[in-house]
Chains A and B, each alone.
Chain A
Amino acid sequence: MKQFTPILLYLLLGASTGFAQEVFQLAPPLVQYNSVFFKEKTTVFMEFAQTGCQIHVTLNGKEPTANDPVYTRALEIKKHQTTVKAKVFGIGFLPSETVEVTFYQRGLDILAINTSRPDKRYPGDGPLTLFDGKGGIPRSDSKTWMGFQQDTVTVEITLKKPKKVQQVLLEVLHNAGSWIFLPQKVDIFCQEKGSSQLVQVGTATFPALPKDAPALCHALFIKPEKPVKTDRILVKVYPLTSIPAWHPGKGTRAWLFVDEIKLY
């Protein structure tokens, strides 16, 4: 019965005002954390300072509803690949879009990463940028990002010692408003023990996201066709060469923003 009270209120008020008004959508909540990559555990803070509104949260990957738990205090994340989804609900407004953040453990120990030269405006934060454990901040001005606008971006990863590698994680940004899109393709090569040759061991393609896709970080997983044991991996990333037709930059080259690479 409680659910019906607001509607009744609308009807009563509606009779007295006489002109139609829009119903606005709520903005997503402010979600804060140091990084989506963690060693043992990490903490997520949220806020939404709007009277009468509440943040509802899920940790099981499902879309939050008004029946899911309300955010009341910081969340502690301990499990690899935990997805936090948060959405704001409030009477008189359409619910917000969902904020989605997935947290990852740090994976294999990386000794060094060498990359193609990033654009001078988006150099990241020094040579450790792609394996400093800092990433997943969706603001494009965060120093965690290296920005590229070129045909191919190569990333050469050296491990401390040969390890079995089952997956490569590439954390990238999508923000159409800033002309930043997912790459169209990623190839991985590795140098197996006793060989001096780099051999292609995997590839993955990524379709452009739809027009209304929110500005979010995405972890792209690329799997070798079979697990490899190696201490040297080369990742070739192909930024989107032609921005989709719905965008003001249609047909031109998109930006690629990468903030972290992990191996599992």
Chain B
Amino acid sequence: MQRRNFLRNSALGLAGAMYVPQILAKTATILGHNQKRYRINTRWSQADVMRNPVNDCHEMVQDSKGRILLLTNETRNNVLIYDKNGKLLETWGTEYPGAHGLTLFDENGTDVLFICDNTRHQVIKTTIEGKVLLVLDYPKETGMYDKAAEYVPTETAIAPNGDIYVADGYGKDFIIQYDAKGRYIRHFGGKGEGDAYLQNAHGIALDLRNPLQPSLMITSRVQNAFKRFDLAGKYLETISLPGAWVCRPVIRGEYLYAAVLQSNSRQWTQSGFVTILDKNNRVVSNLAGSTPTYTNTLPDEMYQTIKAFQYPHDVCVDDEENLYVAQWNSGKTFPYKLEPVV
């Protein structure tokens, strides 16, 4: 009975999720492990796809008013602003064809945004309403770049003092540090094999979980790892996550959340999931992924087990511990919401 439905829905590109007769389908799927388990809602967004389409849904953040902001590279509306129930409140932005990274920073009580644009080869700081405050061009000051095209920034992290760290994750994998005004301070990382180098530095986040040692958690996605550096760019440690193409680290409370674009064992076949690490950076839950187990101090290879996601690209954790998952190259699907199961 499901064969026909399967074919029809695949043709529509519906996220690998298939509808079956309602009478069979009313049990909610629970994803995850241990104390981090969630109920998934793939129909959270109430946006009208005709009026407010999305392309790749790259990243999401929650602002100080509790609203959920989505960044997409659809230039009809680069930023979609939702309430937590999925009602679309407003949109803005038509000039970010390569909209990729979205970071929110509380600047003396005012929300500001940092957008990384892959196509413009720029980082743009805006108000929450989209007014441009600062544009950072390619970092010639580093001496490592001859032209803008070599620089493809994917993410920013902002230190408490306002310093801006940019990850050139699709360019040369350098992390470039600026002061709050956009003046170059230093660069570190860069493409390479050794500990202090990065391969696809796709994400970066401030890690303030240990107040005595604030640090930067940086993605090395092709290496299936995060790498921790201090705020002056000194390499500290590698957190290996075998099998998991992790996107940016998202730190909330004691936990680190990350969308896993795909399983290393099944590349480019929509094999993504979401991983959650505890305060010791041990994997405690994989949403739609394998049960986390360890051999000595290293996680066993992780992989997708349930086709709930295609290519998850970011996780946003709201003030009620709900998750929102944005996806890249996944049939222009809107984000999903996941509510904790207590």
Contact = CB atoms under 8 A, between A and B. Distances in A.
A60 to B, nearest CB: 23
Interface string A18-59: 111111111110100000000000000001111101000000
Given A24-B17, A25-B16, A27-B307, A175 B25 contact: no
Contact of A26 (B27, B301, B305): B305
A23 B24 contact: yes
Interface stretch (B51-59, B74-82, B264-272, B320-328): B264-272
B265 A215 contact: no
B4 interface: no
Contacts of B24: 7, 10, 14, 23
B317 to A, nearest CB: 22
A94 B18 contact: yes
Contacts of B266: 27-28, 138, 215
Interface residues of B, number: 39
Contacts of A215: 266-269
Nearest to B286: A49
Contacts of A25: 16, 18, 306-307
Given A11-B23, A30-B301, A24 B28 contact: no
A50 B19 CA distance: 22
Interface residues of A, number: 39
B23 A50 contact: no
Contact of A50 (B263, B301, B305): B305
B10 interface: yes
Interface string B232-244: 0000000000000
Contacts of A19: 26
A174 to B, nearest CB: 11
A147 to B, nearest CB: 14
Contacts of A24: 16-18, 29, 288, 306-308
Contact of A27 (B23, B26, B303): B303
Interface in B24-43: 24-29, 40, 42
Interface string B175-209: 00000000000000000000000000000000000
B33 to A, nearest CB: 9
Contacts of B291: 49-51
A139 interface: yes
A19 B337 CA distance: 15
Contacts of A23: 17-20, 24-25, 29
A69 interface: no
Contact of B26 (A10, A53, A140, A178): A10
Interface of A: 7, 9-11, 13-15, 17-28, 30, 47-51, 53, 92-94, 138-141, 175, 177-178, 212, 214-215
Closest 5 CB pairs of A and B: A14-B26, A177-B268, A22-B17, A49-B290, A50-B305
22 contacts: A9-B27, A14-B23, A17-B27, A20-B19, A20-B22, A21-B25, A21-B26, A21-B29, A23-B19, A27-B304, A27-B307, A47-B290, A48-B290, A49-B290, A49-B300, A94-B2, A94-B18, A139-B264, A140-B267, A175-B267, A175-B268, A215-B266
Given A177-B270, A178-B267, 19 more contacts: A10-B24, A13-B26, A14-B25, A17-B26, A20-B22, A20-B26, A22-B29, A23-B19, A23-B25, A24-B17, A25-B306, A25-B307, A27-B271, A27-B307, A28-B266, A47-B290, A51-B291, A92-B27, A177-B269
